[in-house]
Amino acid sequence: MNTATLLISCPDQKGLVATISNFLYTHGANILHADQHQDNDVGMFFMRVEWDLDGFELAEEALRDQFAPIAERFQMRWRLHYSAVKPKMAIFVSRYLHCLADLLYRHQIGELACAIPLIVSNHEDARALAEFHGVEFRHMPVNAATKGEVEREQVALLKERGVDVVILARYMQVLASSFVEAFEGRIINVHHSFLPAFSGARPYQAAFQRGVKLIGATSHYVTEVLDDGPIIEQDVVRISHRDQVSDLVQKGRDLERIVLSRAVKWHLEHRILRYANKTVVFD
């Protein structure tokens, strides 16, 4: 089905749902999904509406032109997406390949509505997997002396390939602020702990030393502050005193795959709105 999706955030006020629905109905839209959320603490309204383009009267340019006055009246921030336009997704990875393998498999079976033109790694370990799936692989080693230059090359390469979203699938490098700024709101990371607990390096070891009874994984948007971006998805698994660090790592990798794939899917389906270092994830 060929659809369009509108994502809206604005100050909460009367008439928002009626105005948006009436606008779409007037132009022949058959609304397939609509969801909304109000944050009363900050007085904000959020909405996602998706409709079938069959019979809809407005082409994209006309839609943008005619909706703009409504958006201005209600002080809306809004985004329009079409299902026929497939985002381009680049995956960055180091030596742990479980998240990469999961994303490539889900893409192969049609779960992820995107193109994957590029896999980038600071190690060679993922080359065979990339070649198996027919994706270009770029080995770009990084060290303290070359980090700035390599990241500038990476950003240039991503822009040259027309990449829309960057996935850090256990890419064990901290991105510079210039990289993050170039793809602001479009970099998704998976961290192997239930943030904000055990941020930074070696969280499984830290969790083991603390004797926790639950471990988790977190997928979040990347910001300039390490492991502090808006959280998209989290999950946990129970552990016991019998579990060693290796057991935590094994159980945690299953969680990492799950939370990252969910976050990527929701981003590609335009189900996420960011605000105040938080997210609204629409059903």
Please give the model's pTM, rounded to 2 decimal places: 0.95
Catalytic residue numbers? 227
Residue 201 has what pLDDT? 81
Contact 44, 10 (CB under 8 A): yes
Sign of CA dihedral 141, 146, 152, 156: negative
Instruction: Tell me: pLDDT of 226 over 90.
Output: no
Q: In what order do the strands lie in the sheet with 30-39?
A: 30-39, 44-52, 3-11, 77-82
Q: Which residues contact 48 (CB under 8 A, 6 or more apart)?
A: 5, 6, 7, 8, 33, 34, 35, 36, 270, 271, 273, 282
Instruction: Tell me: pLDDT of 1 over 90.
Output: no
| pLDDT mean over 8-28 | 97
CATH code linked to domain 88-281: 3.40.50.170
Contact 88, 8 (CB under 8 A): no
Between helix 245-268 and helix 203-210 the angle, nearest 10°, is 130
Residues of the chain with CATH 3.30.70.260: 3-82
Residues of the chain with CATH 3.40.50.170: 88-281
Between helix 245-268 and helix 98-108 the angle, nearest 10°, is 40
Residue 74 has what pLDDT? 97
Q: What are phi and psi of 123, to 5 degrees?
A: -135, 170
Mean model confidence pLDDT for the chain: 96
Q: What share of the chain is helix, strand, coil (3-state, %, to 5)?
A: 35, 30, 35
Per-residue confidence at 251, pLDDT binned at 50, 70, 90? very high
Q: Which fold has domain 3-82?
A: Alpha-Beta Plaits (3.30.70)
